[in-house]
Amino acid sequence: MSTDRHEDHHGDVRAPGNLPRDATPPDLRAGAEDADVGVVIVAAGSGSRVGGAELKQFRWVAGKPMLLHSVQAFHSRRDVAMVVCVLPKAFVGDPPPWLFQCDIDRLLLSVGGRERTESVANGLEDLPDEVNVVLIHDAARPFVSDATIDRVIAEARCGRGAIAALPVVDTLKEVDDSGRVVRTLDRATLWRAQTPQAFPRDLIEQAHAKARAERITATDDAALFEQLGLPVVVVRGSERAMKITDEGDFARADALFSVNE
């Protein structure tokens, strides 16, 4: 797809619906006997730090709408039974047309909540009964790799939570309200959490039920899992799995997409 076309759609409220259909082979689609993985993609944010009329998760990056990267990555897998995209309420009834270029037999749309935790809980409720392992992924990380997905699923099948993460390489300082350094943290034990994060379905549902009952919110789902005293392990993530947060990240993501692991 040409650069000109990419730029033409950055200001649109909807991306075009004429993207090539994801030609997932029939034997990889829903109905495979071993498909027991459900994916919740959180795409309900307002993207306020990016600005503009178009939602961040619908903007083009590396040749296609941001959300579409993740949906197609998970749909390409034989073990995925269903992908639930959690969208802002206004878009659930009128989603961007390019979503219908995906494997619609394995796609559901769910309404986002006021907080991320509520959005994930809504997505969990929409997963079909055959799902045993749940992956939760942020749409703002469009370049998820198959190898990372494999690693988190393998750990979740062992009965524990698993998060993609990278070890911290910078020196980290704890500071007070005035900006004064309080101490230097030991980076040897610190990791940067990414997504996807994977969990046994029954346990992550318990974690979210507790969060709802006690009105707990968290910036990731592993934190809710930890509050139940359940084990969470890290697996190696990827530098390509950057989170697109502000305007400058779009150019960095475009450049990173062309770099091999």
Element (H or E) spanning 196, and its range?
strand 191-200
Could you report the per-residue pLDDT of 213-227, keeping only the tens digit for each? 999 989 999 999 999
Task: Write out the two tokens for 159.
Answer: 């009965």
Q: What pLDDT sits at residue 261?
A: 66
Q: What is the DSSP string of 212-229?
A: HHHT---SSHHHHHHHTT
Tell me which of 81-90, 138-147, 189-198, 247-256 is least confident: 247-256
Q: What pLDDT sits at residue 12?
A: 39
Cβ atoms within 10 Å of 177's Cβ, excluding its own:
5
Cβ atoms within 10 Å of 150's Cβ, excluding its own:
12
Could you report the per-residue pLDDT of 174-191, keeping only the tens digit for each? 999 999 999 999 999 999
Place of tokens 């309900």: 44
Distance CA 66, CA 58 (A): 6
Which ranges of 1-138 would DSSP assign to H, the alpha helix? 3-8, 66-75, 89-92, 116-125
| pLDDT exceeds 90 at position 138 | yes
| pLDDT exceeds 60 at position 6 | no
SS3 76: coil
Beta-carbon contacts of residue 53 (< 8 Å; ≥ 6 apart): 11, 13
98: domain CATH number is: 3.90.550.10
Burial of 171 (0-12, 13-18, 19+ CB in 10 A): exposed
% the chain with pLDDT above 70: 84
Q: Looking at residues 52-62, what average pLDDT do you find?
A: 87
Average per-residue pLDDT in the chain?
88
Global pTM value = 0.85
Q: What is the Rg, in whole angstroms, of the alpha carbon atoms belonging to the chain?
A: 18
Could you report the per-residue pLDDT of 187-214, keeping only the tens digit for each? 999 999 999 999 999 999 999 999 999 9
Judge whether 37 and 30 are in contact, CB under 8 Å: no
Q: What pLDDT sits at residue 46?
A: 67
Could you report the per-residue pLDDT of 149-164, keeping only the tens digit for each? 999 999 999 999 999 9
Total domains in the chain come to 1
Domain that includes residue 127, residue range: 3-257
Q: Looking at residues 21-48, what average pLDDT do you find?
A: 70
Q: What pLDDT sits at residue 16?
A: 42
Q: What pLDDT sits at residue 120?
A: 97
